[in-house]
Amino acid sequence: MRSRNMLSMFLPALFISLSILVAGKELPKDEIKGAQLYDSGIRHANNIALKMETVARQEEAGRFNMALYPEAKDVVECVNGTAVAQEGNANYTFRCHNIDLYHFLNHADLGSKLVGGSSTWGWTSPDGREFVAIGQRDGAAFAEITKQGKLVYLGRLPEYSIPSLWREIRGYRDFMIIGSEAVGHGIQIFDMNKLLDIDPAQPITFSNSKDLVGHFNGLPNGRTHNVVTNPETGFIYSVGAQPRNSTCKSGLIFIDISDPSNPTSPGCASEDGYVHDAQCLIYHGPDTQYEGHEICYGYNEDTLTIYDVTDKKNPKILSITSYEGAAYTHQGWVLDSKNQHYLLLDDEYDEHDRVGPGADGHPVTFIWDISSLKAPKQTGYYKSGARGIDHNQYVVDGFAMQSNYGTGFRVLDVRSIPDDPTGKGVKEVAFFDIYPEDDAETGGGVVDFVGTWGSYAYFKSGYIFVNTMERGGFVLKMKDGTRV
Ligand X SMILES: *[C@@H]1O[C@H](CO)[C@@H](O)[C@H](O)[C@H]1NC(C)=O
**Which of these segments, 56-64, 117-125, 316-324, 338-346, binds ligand X (CB under 6 A)?**
56-64
Sequence-ordered alpha helix ranges (H) in 293-412: 350-353
Q: Map the footprint of ligand X across residues 116-155, applying CB under 6 A.
A: none
**Which of these segments, 61-69, 196-204, 382-390, 410-418, binds ligand X (CB under 6 A)?**
61-69
Count helices and strands in the chain by DSSP H and E runs:
4, 32
Q: How far is the CB of 439 from ligand X (least distance, A)?
A: 12
DSSP assignment letter at 365 = E
Contact 362, 386 (CB under 8 A): yes
Binding flag, residue 68, ligand X (CB under 6 A) = yes
Nearer to ligand X among residue 243 and residue 385 (C-beta): 243
**Which of these segments, 20-28, 58-66, 106-114, 168-176, binds ligand X (CB under 6 A)?**
58-66
Nearer to ligand X among residue 37 and residue 68 (C-beta): 68
CA distance 341 to 274: 25
Nearer to ligand X among residue 156 and residue 471 (C-beta): 471
Q: How far is the CB of 216 from ligand X (least distance, A)?
A: 21
Q: Write the Ramachandran bin of 173: left for phi over 0, alpha for psi from -120 to 50, otherwise beta.
A: left
Binding test (CB under 6 A) with ligand X, winner from 89, 148, 207, 217:
89
Binding flag, residue 48, ligand X (CB under 6 A) = no
Binding flag, residue 289, ligand X (CB under 6 A) = no
Contact 220, 175 (CB under 8 A): no
**Which of these segments, 57-65, 324-332, 375-383, 384-392, binds ligand X (CB under 6 A)?**
57-65
Kindly list the strands in the beta sheet with 329-334, ordered across the sheet, starting from the edge strand earlier in the chain.
329-334, 342-347, 364-369, 377-383
Nearer to ligand X among residue 275 and residue 414 (C-beta): 275
Length of the chain equals: 484
CA distance 476 to 424: 28
Contact 470, 438 (CB under 8 A): no
Binding test (CB under 6 A) with ligand X, winner from 63, 97, 215, 387:
63
Binding test (CB under 6 A) with ligand X, winner from 79, 162, 183, 196:
79
Binding test (CB under 6 A) with ligand X, winner from 3, 5, 8, 80:
80
Binding flag, residue 62, ligand X (CB under 6 A) = yes
Binding flag, residue 245, ligand X (CB under 6 A) = yes
Q: How far is the CB of 387 from ligand X (least distance, A)?
A: 18
**Which of these segments, 59-67, 358-366, 372-380, 460-468, binds ligand X (CB under 6 A)?**
59-67
Nearer to ligand X among residue 28 and residue 88 (C-beta): 88
Count of residues engaged in binding ligand X, rule: CB under 6 A: 11
Report long-range pairs for 83-86 (Cβ below 8 Å, ≥24 apart). Answer: 83/432
Kindly list the strands in the beta sheet with 452-456, ordered across the sheet, starting from the edge strand earlier in the chain.
99-106, 472-478, 463-468, 452-456
CA distance 386 to 370: 28
Beta bridge partners of 93: 84
First to last CA, the chain: 55
Q: How far is the CB of 68 from ligand X (least distance, A)?
A: 5
**Which of these segments, 18-26, 62-70, 177-185, 411-419, binds ligand X (CB under 6 A)?**
62-70
Q: How far is the CB of 42 from ligand X (least distance, A)?
A: 12
Binding test (CB under 6 A) with ligand X, winner from 243, 266, 311, 314:
243
Q: How far is the CB of 7 from ligand X (least distance, A)?
A: 47
**Which are the contacts of 383, defined by CB distance < 8 A and separation ≥ 6?**
357, 358, 362, 363, 364, 365
Nearer to ligand X among residue 63 and residue 293 (C-beta): 63
Nearer to ligand X among residue 65 and residue 261 (C-beta): 65
Q: Map the footprint of ligand X across residues 382-441, applying CB under 6 A.
A: 437
CA distance 366 to 356: 11
Q: For the residues of 451-465, what is the DSSP string, one character each?
A: SEEEEE---TT-EEE
Nearer to ligand X among residue 16 and residue 61 (C-beta): 61
**Which are the contacts of 414, defined by CB distance < 8 A and separation ≥ 6?**
335, 344, 382, 395, 398, 399, 400, 426
Contact set with ligand X (CB under 6 A): 61-63, 68, 79-80, 89, 91, 243, 245, 437
